[in-house]
Amino acid sequence: QVQVVESGGGLVQAGGSLRLSCAASGRTYDYYAVGWFRQAQGKAREFVAAGNWGGGRTYYADSVKGRFTISRDSAKNTAYLQMNNLKPEDTALYYCAVAQWGVPVQASEYAYWGQGTQVTVSS
């Protein structure tokens, strides 16, 4: 089992920045990739970004490309999502998830999920 806990959400003005953290514990050798998803109120969960734990492969949704960056600190078993130039449409509950193989963009491919952290961007 892998436990996943997100943090770092909050309220920010448009154009501002936030950094989300995703701390993983437990059988961390079980997982290979970290993904970030978000769900705005009344909308379906959508892919935001993903990267493999060993580094080198990253994927981003078109809507966040150039503004968001996924990274990780292997020593801390923690992944990050740096979000710059935030827009009101980025407002959502952000989830971190870990996958056991590949670097998937489909939520169904992720085995372990956190509870989410709220990001609210005011205009």
pLDDT tens for each residue of the chain, 123 residues long: 889 999 999 999 999 999 999 998 887 666 789 999 999 999 999 999 999 877 678 999 999 999 999 998 888 889 999 999 999 999 999 999 999 888 899 999 999 999 999 999 999
Q: Tokens 């005011």 belong to which residue?
A: 122
Q: Which helix (H) or strand (E) holds 19?
A: strand 18-26
For residue 30, the model assigns a pLDDT of: 60
Q: Provide the Cα torsion 58, 35, 110, 24; round to 10°.
A: 120
